[in-house]
Amino acid sequence: MTDKITPERRSANMSKIRSRDTSPELAVRRAAHALGYRYRLHRKDLPGKPDLVFPGRKAVIFVHGCFWHQHPDPACPDGRRPKSRPEYWNPKLDANVARDALRKAELEGRGWRVLTLWECDIGRGADLAETLKLFLGLPARRTGAGSGDMSG
């Protein structure tokens, strides 16, 4: 099967795909912050540059696009492989899946806990807050300005 769009149009489409600050990633960041979790973004010193890093909790979160990372859930429509140009897509997508597994194993080998959140689950309104709390534990208690003990 051949591609239904021109190579120029395909190239333009592909150039617009981002690897960071995607809508699903921003949704996870907003939810984590609203719950009181504090995190770092895309730490280059960690395998795979996780999307969110919680250093004090030794935990990382990857927010994966269902197509690029091949979501294994058969109910996910975006996790399917293209029918056109399988000689190009199959090795590329297989390499992504293998790299994801290797990075996860490397992180776990260093003592990090790893959570992968899938784009379709975030978009379907999965209970993101509950998932984050279960994975990360209770957020640190927030104290407002002036709430500290001033006795002395």
The pLDDT, as a whole number, for residue 124 is 73
Question: Would you give the distance in Å from CA 75 to the centre of its chain?
Answer: 19
pLDDT 10s digits, 111-126 = 999 999 999 999 776 6
Compute the average pLDDT of residues 16-36: 85
pLDDT 10s digits, 57-73 = 999 999 999 999 999 99
Residues facing residue 97 across a β-bridge: none
Tokens 């294994």 locate to 72
Give pTM, 2 decimals. Answer: 0.81
Return the domain boundaries, the chain: 17-136
Stronger pLDDT, 101 or 77, i.e. the higher one: 101
The pLDDT, as a whole number, for residue 145 is 55
Statement: 17-136 belongs to CATH 3.40.960.10 = yes
Residue 66 near residue 78 (C-beta atoms within 8 A): yes
Q: What is the dihedral of CA 100, 21, 114, 132, to 10 degrees?
A: -150
pLDDT 10s digits, 81-94 = 999 889 999 999 99
